[in-house]
Structure 1
Amino acid sequence: MESKLCDLFGIKYPIIQGGMQWLATPEFAAAVSNAGALGTLNSSLSKSKEEFVEMIRRTRSLTKNPFAVNISMLPNQPAGELTLDFLSAVAEEKVDVVELSGTDPTPFVPALKNAGIKVIHKSPAVRFAKKAEAAGVDAVTIVGFECGGHPGMDDVTTLVLIPSVVDAVSIPVIAGGGICDSRSYAAVRCLGAEGAVMGTRFVATKECVIHPNFKELILKATERDTGIVQRSIKNAARNYKNPAILKLMDMEANGKPTLEEILAIVSGKRQKECYETGNIESGAIPMGECAGRIHDILTVKEVIDEIVTGAAKLLK
């Protein structure tokens, strides 16, 4: 488990919890960090800077180990957008690691680095990874086409994308997309990644706060049960093919739905309600293709332990 990421972030294992919107709570992030990996707190859980600071402090009270904060940024800053407040909060609180995504990180990196914070930028393609490196980030997360959530628009798989980015940049690369166990982890390390980020596998854990219906859904899913939507608005997203997503796939294949029609199905508010009530038929459920390879609900520590011990044997 030797990796540049271990020294860079002060962690035992180079395994990182994905942003997992609505699910990346202080308690969950702390559970991952306490198991030796890097837990992640999602800023989207907060409605104000003050609330976000409180969540950071709560996470810190639950683990002595480093953890990250995920901040998804918009290309512009409309009224009511809290990105700048969140960035200010992490600098003031001197959070260990920040993962940025969504737009060019260049304007935000200097202030974070001056506060002693390590910066990761999530990128879906080689060209964006090179731009992030030029901006001064410490590492890049690269997600292949298999990943749940947003894989980018290029449809390039993890197997091809990871070594391409490793060859193109000099900073550590964190691989995402299709990783759920020791075999897939060992594979991306052999491709040159310094570590891995996982989302879907961490959803199917005992500590995850999502309704049990969704955990059971992952266990029953096959590698063919997810699909890509939102291509029409250039925001490709992989979700479980429930009735709502199948409807949107049909709308996009046979016409051009309006932004309002798309958001009526995939809005974060609707997703959050589904997560809380257990409604698996409605809303967008981000899920990676690796769901077809997940067959049990484990503790976070059990997931990480399997990767650590299994990958060591494979790589040996």
Structure 2
Amino acid sequence: MKTILTESLNLKYPIVQGGMMWISKPELVSAVSNAGCLGILSGLTYETPELLAKAIDETKKMTDKSFGVNITMLPTLRQINYDAYIDVIIDSGVKIVETAGNNPEQFMAKLKKNNVKVIHKCTSVKHALKAEKIGCDFVSIDGFECAGHPGELDVTSLILIPITVDALKIPVIASGGFGDGRGLLAALSLGACGVNMGTRFMATKEAPMHDNIKKRLVEATENDTMLIERTLKNTIRVLRNKQAELVEKMEKEGKGLMELAPLLSGMNGKRCLVEGDTEGFIFGCGQAVGLIRDIPSVEELVERIISEAKSSFERLKNIME
């Protein structure tokens, strides 16, 4: 499968694995890259740039294929030296960076000087156009179905992808709602050069989290996600559980960030992913969870997706003849 994404980033298949906090670690990232896709380390999973450097080295020992690093720039209680993280990425020789959240313009000159390809993830055409203007190589456009932060405009992938493709000159990666071969083919037909998948890759053997969490994803339906932090103008789509429902209740009661912060803490997630507590943390999860039926290896999943895409393509050819 050849697209500008596979050709530019030296991939076999046009599939990108999302940079997921606490989950996009070397064991998952290397498995994705070894399967012919683009694995992406979650840079801020590592509390210091030095720890990220070690993770990059560990990933290199597990794959000789292309992989990238995600740097998400969102409001946080923890002060982050983004420059230091960017320097580590450049010094390590990694040539692909996925940015998300705030505008990465201040880092673009340094990244481009070192021949780093930049994928910027955003949730609106307005921000996609800005990413193009500042020199990003790809835009990953996140539809309303996505895990994590879908923005505040609530536009679904089926509409947002072709609108973004029409508006931009640089290639567009489709993100939000993708988990099988039918979705991959649909994204390509909408003009995208590939798909970004996060939720589906969580339910794989290599994903570094407790089996209880993976089983919960298999059991979930498309109706088992919910939106919280809407009152904070920081909307996030998460798996429905006791913690998320408590946050929703407190928001309805008018509680603010300071009261909600202990429940929203990422450290809860770090603990629960290890311990297998499915109820005690805020867990970003997309509506693609409804497509999950099993927990295969990454390689099995990718080969299945490609086979499904090819079968769907043949079926459409027969319809169109």
Partner of 2:61: 61
1:123-162 correspondence runs (5 A): 123-162=122-161
Letter in 2 for 1:39: G
1:168 and 2:167 correspond:
yes
RMSD between superposed Cα atoms in Å? 1.4
Contact in 2 for aligned 1:185/1:311 (Cα 8 Å): yes
Summarize deviations over 1:82-103 as a string: whole Å, max 9, x none: 3111011111122121001111
Summarize deviations over 1:84-123 as a string: whole Å, max 9, x none: 1101111112212100111111111111111111100010
Partner of 1:43: 43
1:307 shift after superposition: 1.4
Q: Gaps spanning 5+ residues in structure 1: where?
A: none
Summarize deviations over 1:174-225 as a string: whole Å, max 9, x none: 1111100001111111111100010110000011111111111111111111
1:88 and 2:87 correspond:
yes
1:302 and 2:297 correspond:
no
> 1:94 & 1:234 partners in 2: Cα distance?
37
Summarize deviations over 1:251-303 as a string: whole Å, max 9, x none: 22x23211122222121111111111111111101111111121111110111
Q: 1:311 aligns with which of 309, 312, 315?
A: 309
Contact in 2 for aligned 1:94/1:116 (Cα 8 Å): no
1:75 shift after superposition: 6.5
Secondary structure of 1:98 counterpart: strand
1:64-79 correspondence runs (5 A): 64-74=64-74
> 1:306 & 1:156 partners in 2: Cα distance?
29
> 1:258 & 1:288 partners in 2: Cα distance?
25
Partner of 2:318: none
> 1:7 & 1:24 partners in 2: Cα distance?
24
Q: Which moved more, 1:90-99 or 1:63-72?
A: 90-99
Contact in 1 for aligned 2:250/2:260 (Cα 8 Å): no
1:315 shift after superposition: 2.1
- Percent identity over the alignment is 41
Partner of 1:260: 258
Letter in 1 for 2:246: K
Contact in 1 for aligned 2:17/2:38 (Cα 8 Å): yes
Q: Gaps spanning 5+ residues in structure 2: where?
A: 315-321
Partner of 1:2: 2
**Matched length:** 314
1:53 shift after superposition: 1.3
1:100-119 correspondence runs (5 A): 100-119=99-118
Contact in 2 for aligned 1:230/1:262 (Cα 8 Å): no
Summarize deviations over 1:124-161 as a string: whole Å, max 9, x none: 11000000000100001111111111111111101011
Summarize deviations over 1:32-51 as a string: whole Å, max 9, x none: 00000000111122222222
Summarize deviations over 1:60-101 as a string: whole Å, max 9, x none: 12111010100012479x984131110111111221210011
Partner of 2:268: 270
Secondary structure of 1:231 counterpart: coil
Secondary structure of 2:71 counterpart: strand
Contact in 2 for aligned 1:204/1:215 (Cα 8 Å): yes
Q: 1:145 to 1:193 in 2, by over 3 A?
A: same
Scaled by the length of structure 1, the TM-score of the pair is 0.96
Runs (4+) of structure 1 moved beyond 4 Å?
A: none
1:313 shift after superposition: 2.4
